[in-house]
């Protein structure tokens, strides 16, 4: 966890340093705001990094007004589930890229319910059909949102 905290501080320092480095080449008006924001960000992230490395204890660490992740799941299981969920999200985006949004919707709902949530075939198919119906009626038929065709449809000129 401490290693992660250090890495996150380094990430912030890198972002601020990149912003300052990029902004130095711009005109005064263009760089005024990014520079005046990046310098204090760099300073605060560095202070935080030093506190994480040399500070004692974590009693003052709370994020205050924010979500706390649940701690009643063993860390290994939690890590596995986090990676698994990110993979599903990434899979969704890749699927949208390959076959487009309208086809991804039923595919994603069905595969997630059937293979991740272990829902029965019947329920998975029914939920998929209902979702696709709502999606089509609302976004394509009523609101007329233009969804980009997927890469496969473009390659095959469909």
Partner 1 sequence: MFDAFIDGLFLVLQWKAFSLMLVGMGLGFCVGLLPGIGGAATLALMIPFIFKMSPAEAFAFLLGMHSVAATTGDITSVLFGVPGEAISAATVVDGYPMAKKGEAGRALGAALMSSLLGALIGAVALALAIPVVRPLVLTFGSPELFMLSVIGISCITSLSGAGARGQIKGFAMGLLGLLVSTIGQERQSGSLRFDMGIMYLWEGLDFVPVLVGIFAIPEIIDLAVRGTSIAGEGPAENLRSGVMEGIKDTFRHFWLVFRCSVIGVFVGIMPGAGGGVAQWMAYAHSVQSAKDSKDRERFGKGDVRGVLGPGAANNSKEGGELIPTVAFGVPGSGAMAILLSGFLIMGLVPGPDMLTKHLSITFSMVWTLAIANIITVLLCLTVLDQLAKITNVRGGWIIPFVLLLVFVGSYTANGQIADLIVTLIFGMISYFMVLFGWPRPPFVLGFVLGKVIETYLFISMSRYGFTWLKHPIVVLLIILMLVVIAYPYIQKRRGRSGSPANA
Scan residues 2-21 and list those touching partner 1 (CB under 8 A).
4-5, 8, 12, 15-16, 19
Assign 30 to helix, strand or coil: helix
The residues, any chain, with a CB within 8 Å of residue 103's CB and separated by 6 or more, are 95, 150
CA distances from 139 to 23, 61, 128, 133, 144 (A): 41, 44, 16, 10, 6
Encoded tokens for 66: 């924010």
Q: Under rule CB under 8 A, which residues in 83-142 are in contact with partner 1?
A: 84-86, 88-90, 92-93, 96-97, 101, 105, 108-109, 112-113, 116-119, 127, 131, 135, 138-139
Task: Please tell me what DSSP assigns to residue 113.
Answer: I
Total site size for partner 1, rule CB under 8 A: 74
Nearer to partner 1, 75 or 156 (CB): 75
Least separation, in Å, of the C-beta of 125 and partner 1?
14
**Residues 53-72, interacting with partner 1 (CB under 8 A):** 55, 60-70, 72
């Amino acid at each position: 966890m401490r290693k992660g905290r250090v890495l996150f501080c380094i990430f912030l320092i890198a972002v601020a340093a990149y912003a300052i480095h990029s902004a130095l080449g711009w005109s005064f008006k263009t760089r005024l705001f990014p520079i005046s924001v990046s310098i204090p960000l760099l300073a605060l992230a560095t202070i935080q990094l030093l506190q994480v490395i040399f500070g004692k204890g974590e009693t003052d660490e709370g994020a205050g007004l924010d979500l706390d992740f649940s701690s009643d799941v063993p860390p290994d299981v939690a890590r596995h589930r986090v990676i698994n969920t990110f993979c599903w999200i990434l899979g969704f985006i890749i699927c949208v890229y390959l076959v487009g949004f309208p086809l991804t919707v039923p595919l994603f709902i069905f595969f997630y319910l059937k293979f991740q949530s272990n829902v029965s075939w019947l329920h998975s198919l029914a939920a998929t059909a209902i979702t696709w119906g709502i999606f089509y009626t609302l976004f394509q038929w009523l609101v007329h949102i233009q969804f980009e065709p997927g890469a496969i449809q473009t390659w095959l000129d469909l």
